[in-house]
């Protein structure tokens, strides 16, 4: 492949070796043709198995070697429903590991089933599906509100979903779930991995499972365990139809589907781990290695897929095209995306051909591309450094918002003043212009306060430290720096004062998230304050600890009402969701002009930005011409635990302020009190207040 260290992205034809096209099985009238890549193998066979006895081989067919390491066979046995495996032989050494007795999965298999002794078989799948007139919703970026969810965890305990659909793809698209999504107001459902995955042997020995799914077996096959019992009995064709049916129903409701995809590593772990697919076909081509065959692990999972080779790059891009085209997926969140952007010297470059190809490929043009912009290798933290066409999880946003509302307040209780002022928080609120270039704008930032990985919103305000003993690693796993604050008691408490302060802290965090410039992401269950009892790394718990509960106490219903109201206000006020950063020297279309005032209604001075004793600001944002409509809002942020009087700013063209939302209220009010410029507003401790300026 052309060196990925060049300063301009090469054409797609240079990234994708044309000899590697059409890998996997292609059906035709009299059977099918299977193409597999293995540059290093001396021979490659396809083994066909009996449909009712997956340990009984009915045929062994030698494949023919073509150019550039591609092997091919056409057979009448390769029909829809056929179970098959690959068997490769070749020289041992030079980074390659061959065992001709090992049965391997086809990396391009659209279906995977388990054999009688735990072995897995690839399955030829009929990909036909009637999409009717349903099309992708194509939600504009500025109107996007992401909801990160787990297929099983969302519905496993939902009383409105039939028991037969609990924990399934079909259950996620049940009317009860769609009603929840629409009532909340989110636009885009981001699913934790649904590519076929396996639990690590270490977890199985502990009696645990890989619940999150970041341990991929195959990049084209859906995870069968999330399908209904009926679909699993019918086979991979039915499982795939159920996935497509889920997408179709969500699209009919106007909801997008984004997949969390794990192309950075596979379930084969390190050299001594499982030997199931890529390692046995062409270890050298698919995994990053030293010259002596030692793996270069920048993922912390034992191996790293090598996107600096044609085979590795092609595998990733072909998989994305398949899910975007055949399954009509609306976007992808790339786990440890920095790994995908490492060149043949294992250094990250934002101009890596694979990153550019993902952003520019015509078949992916209508999809959202979201990077988790880090891995654990040298130079792995790359927030803000991905190129045009990419959006990024903004951990700087997460950390600063948590600090402002939680750890800074904790610090102030012990030291009489917070450690820093409000300036850094304001930068995050306004779109993180110090992280993302003017060309990329605020919508490059995926703003989040919580995610699947870490504390839930409720636990963030209820625990000072992680409680992960149930993970079997003596509380060593999971992040130690959470920027959380228990507000005076660790975990559950009956102290109503502490509970009220925690509830307000959750409202402040959600208010910040949904009123900030950028694209917000909510973690499923945070809208009603779910808890994982202080476990901040619950990846191995497939249980009531991680399944959402749908029995909610009054305070949880009130929190839900707040989140719903905030999403509604975000949609109604374009000043809250600018597409571009405004420039002071000119009018910028689709931007918001921002002005900052202190609690006295005066323009914020440089001294006050950075003074930790002054953590109160008034943020005025006005949409610029060529947006949907002219709109101006005022947001008051007060980050101290003492009340303060705030004088509303006197601004040319503003005659009144209409109250829209306050975090100080237990229940969101639909009343809209009207105040005048210059009025003094008594502002409660640590609170937010939104007004429309008219």
Residues of the chain below pLDDT 70: 1-15, 94, 116-118, 584-587, 625-628
Query: Ramachandran region of residue 480, left (φ > 0), alpha (ψ -120 to 50) or beta?
Result: alpha
Beta strands 111-114 and 120-123, pairing class: antiparallel
Structure confidence at residue 589 (pLDDT): 78
Angle CA 191–192–193, to nearest 5: 110
Structure confidence at residue 19 (pLDDT): 83
d(CA 245, CA 170): 7
Quote the tokens at residue 462.
């209820």
Structure confidence at residue 12 (pLDDT): 53
Question: Residue 653 contacts by C-beta under 8 Å, 6 or more apart in sequence?
Answer: none
With beta carbons less than 8 A apart as the criterion, state whether 48 and 57 touch. Answer: yes
List strands edge to edge, sheet with 687-693: 580-581, 591-597, 616-623, 632-638, 687-693, 657-662, 674-675
Within 13 Å and on the Cβ side, how many CA atoms surround 588? Answer: 17
Within 13 Å and on the Cβ side, how many CA atoms surround 572? Answer: 13
Angle CA 158–554–501, to nearest 5: 120
| Residue 18 DSSP label | G
Structure confidence at residue 586 (pLDDT): 62
Structure confidence at residue 626 (pLDDT): 64
Of the candidates 667, 650, 657, the residue with the CA atom closest to the CA atom of residue 691? 657
Beta strands 680-683 and 644-647, pairing class: antiparallel
Provide the β-strand partners of residue 305.
287
| Residue 567 DSSP label | H
pTM of the model as a whole: 0.96
Tokens 């002219």 identify what position? Answer: 630
For the chain, what percent of residues have pLDDT higher than 90?
A: 89
- From residue 204, alpha-carbon distances to 18, 333, 551 in Å are 41, 27, 31
Catalytic residues: 335, 372
Query: Ramachandran region of residue 413, left (φ > 0), alpha (ψ -120 to 50) or beta?
Result: alpha
Beta strands 519-523 and 146-149, pairing class: parallel
User: Any idea how long the chain is?
Assistant: 694
């Amino acid at each position: 492949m052309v060196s990925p260290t060049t300063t301009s992205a090469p054409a797609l034809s240079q990234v994708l070796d044309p000899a590697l096209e059409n890998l996997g099985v292609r059906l035709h009238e009299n059977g099918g043709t299977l193409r597999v890549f293995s540059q290093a193998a001396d021979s490659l066979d396809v083994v066909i198995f009996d449909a009712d006895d997956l340990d009984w081989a009915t045929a062994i067919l030698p494949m023919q070697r073509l150019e550039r390491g591609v092997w091919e066979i056409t057979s009448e046995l390769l029909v829809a429903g056929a179970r098959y495996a690959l068997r490769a032989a070749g020289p041992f050494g030079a980074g390659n590991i061959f065992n001709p007795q090992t049965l391997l999965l086809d990396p391009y298999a659209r279906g995977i089933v388990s054999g009688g002794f735990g072995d897995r078989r690839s399955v030829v799948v009929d990909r036909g599906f009637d999409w009717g007139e349903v099309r992708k919703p194509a939600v504009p970026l500025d109107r996007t509100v992401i909801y990160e969810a787990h297929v099983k965890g969302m519905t496993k305990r939902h009383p409105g979903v039939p028991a037969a659909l609990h924990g399934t793809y079909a259950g996620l698209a049940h009317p009860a779930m769609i009603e929840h999504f629409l009532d909340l107001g989110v636009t885009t459902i981001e699913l934790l991995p649904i590519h076929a995955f396996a639990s690590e042997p270490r977890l199985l020995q502990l009696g645990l499972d890989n619940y999150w799914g970041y341990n991929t077996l195959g990049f084209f096959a859906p995870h069968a365990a999330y399908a209904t019992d009926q679909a699993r009995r019918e086979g991979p064709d039915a499982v795939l139809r159920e996935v497509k049916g889920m997408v179709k129903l969500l699209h009919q409701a106007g909801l997008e589907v984004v997949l969390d995809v794990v192309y950075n590593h596979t379930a084969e772990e390190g050299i001594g781990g499982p030997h199931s697919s890529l390692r046995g076909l062409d270890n050298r081509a698919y995994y990053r290695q030293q010259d002596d065959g030692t793996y270069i692990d920048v993922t912390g999972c034992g191996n790293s897929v090598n996107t600096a080779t044609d085979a590795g790059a092609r595998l990733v891009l072909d998989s994305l095209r398949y899910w975007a085209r055949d399954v009509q997926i609306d976007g992808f969140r790339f786990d440890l995306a920095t790994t995908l952007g490492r060149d043949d010297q294992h250094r990250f470059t934002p101009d890596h051909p694979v990153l550019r190809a993902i952003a520019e490929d015509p078949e992916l043009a209508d999809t959202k591309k979201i990077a988790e912009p880090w891995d654990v290798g040298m130079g792995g933290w790359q927030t803000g450094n991905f190129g045009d066409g990419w959006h990024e999880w903004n951990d700087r946003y997460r950390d600063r918002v948590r600090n402002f509302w939680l750890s800074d307040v904790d610090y102030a209780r012990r030291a009489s003043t917070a450690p820093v002022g409000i300036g850094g928080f304001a930068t995050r609120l306004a779109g993180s212009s110090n992280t993302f270039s003017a060309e990329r704008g605020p919508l490059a930032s995926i703003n989040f306060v919580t995610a699947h990985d870490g504390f839930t919103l409720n636990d963030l305000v209820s625990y000072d430290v992680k409680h992960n003993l149930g993970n079997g690693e003596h509380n060593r796993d999971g992040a130690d720096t959470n920027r959380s604050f228990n507000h005076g008691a660790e975990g559950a408490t009956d102290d109503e004062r502490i509970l009220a302060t925690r509830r307000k802290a959750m409202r402040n965090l959600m208010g910040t998230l949904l009123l900030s410039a950028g694209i917000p992401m909510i973690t499923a269950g945070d809208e009603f304050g779910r808890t994982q009892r202080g476990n901040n790394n619950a990846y191995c718990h497939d249980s009531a600890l991680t399944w959402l509960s749908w029995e909610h106490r009054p305070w949880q219903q009130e929190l839900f009402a707040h989140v719903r109201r905030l999403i509604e206000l975000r949609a109604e006020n374009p000043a809250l969701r600018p597409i571009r950063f405004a420039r002071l020297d000119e009018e910028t279309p689709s931007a918001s002009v921002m002005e900052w005032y202190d609690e006295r209604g005066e323009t914020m001075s440089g001294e006050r930005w950075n003074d930790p004793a002054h953590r109160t600001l008034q943020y005025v944002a006005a949409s610029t011409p060529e947006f949907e409509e002219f709109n101006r809002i005022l947001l008051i942020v007060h980050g101290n635990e003492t009340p303060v009087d705030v004088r509303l700013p006197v601004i040319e063209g503003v005659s009144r302020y209409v109250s829209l939302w306050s975090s100080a209220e237990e229940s969101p009010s639909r009343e809209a009190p009207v105040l005048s410029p210059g009025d003094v507003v008594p502002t409660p401790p640590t609170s937010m207040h939104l007004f429309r300026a008219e």
